[in-house]
Structure 1
Amino acid sequence: MLHGWAMHGGVLRGFAERLAGQYQTIVADLPGHGRSGALAPFELAAVGDALVAALPVRRFALLGWSLGGAIALDIAARYPERVEQLTLLASNPKFVGDGAWPGMRPAVLDGFAELLLADAKTTLQRFLALQVQGLPEQRLLLAQLRQAVADAPPPAEAALRGGLDILKTADLREQWRHLRCPASAIFGGRDMLVPVAAAKALADLRPEAGVYCLDAAGHLPFLSHPEQVMALLRAPQ
């Protein structure tokens, strides 16, 4: 299980514990996040290679949330002999949108990059708040998220910048289309970071994939709707 930008594996711990009744679960800290050492340069392929080298099992299913989804998709494409199944959670093979693809506005990512220079702490707090924006239970979810994030040291600045660069430049649509393993994607209908329109776009690229939308969820379906996500993970691929 791979976490998102500016986070660490601890944010997925509660969900991983739920799954551990049926599966062996491994939650990784990306390089430069949580308790993982830094990696230079923090680039998509290098991050994926480092994670695969560190995993204690030969074959595994991957679940990638947000930025972690891009990294998981890259791993699944380049290590087909290792990955049995892939699930993208509130993620997008091309995070930045354009006229033909639904995604984030480039100005949003540019804004985070500029704010990091001025005040990294405030930038990260704003990012946490954006993930729960518009949800009825946003105060509770934000408190849970902040508590989980506080359980580990803040990410290295180079890792934050590298993660933003991946979000801004990666285009893994062809990798998604040509994956050799079963794949699925789960979206939140109220996600403020990954537009729900990306669900149809992914289904069009790969009709055999299981693409699902939890209408009441935002960017944190593993926190707000864990049982529904677990049920989808158990669905035949």
Structure 2
Amino acid sequence: MSTTVPTSATLPGGLVALPSVYRPQADTRLLAEALAHEELGPRTDVLEIGTGTGALALHAARRGAAVTAVDVSWPAVATARVNALAHRLPLRVLHGDFVTRTAGRRFDLVVTNPPYVPAPGARPPSRGAERAWDAGHDGRLVIDRICAAASALLRSGGVLLMVHSGMCGARTTVDRLTGAGLTAEVTARASVPWGPVLRSRRAWLERRGLAREAEQWEELVVIRARNL
């Protein structure tokens, strides 16, 4: 059964965001709740994929973890760096593709709120605000890349936390992570009202079979995977 989005997630306040940078929303808060249950400390190496404002990365850094954050968007990188300085927290923010920028490194925890909104375009946009959410016809362009890379990114016993829409197929994500040698399960769910992006694509989503007619609520899921 889905739950309402929790309001107790501890995210940094007073975050700035340049135009086109995704601001923390219900999915960010749900993921922050999951992150709050993980053990973090000075010896914990954390990676955030698609950091946006840096909210989740700063949440981990505040608890003492050594955090690296990656984003393909220069405005997001600049925003996360400014927010880290404003909050006086150490944060390494890198620009580029997460696989390229983390080559040869392994982490204790990987956290990500990737683009996951199904979109009419087969390829993700190269610029603009849509870059933070559009992810191909089934919303899985980035999700599947993270599933494929997870075992190489995580140390033995390391954990991946990922949030995405139920439209993308939570079972598919769990199966792909399991197939890559991890243990995986859905650990949290929440129902949120459709936002303006989904509402603008209603007819297309219904034709694709991704949404029921007149549907008004979206399910969010958090998936936790552990590297064996």
- TM-score normalised by structure 1 residue count: 0.35
The structure with more helix, counted as a fraction of residues: 1
Larger RCO of the pair (alpha carbons < 8 Å, separation 6+) = 1
The structure with more strand, counted as a fraction of residues: 2
- TM-score normalised by structure 2 residue count: 0.36
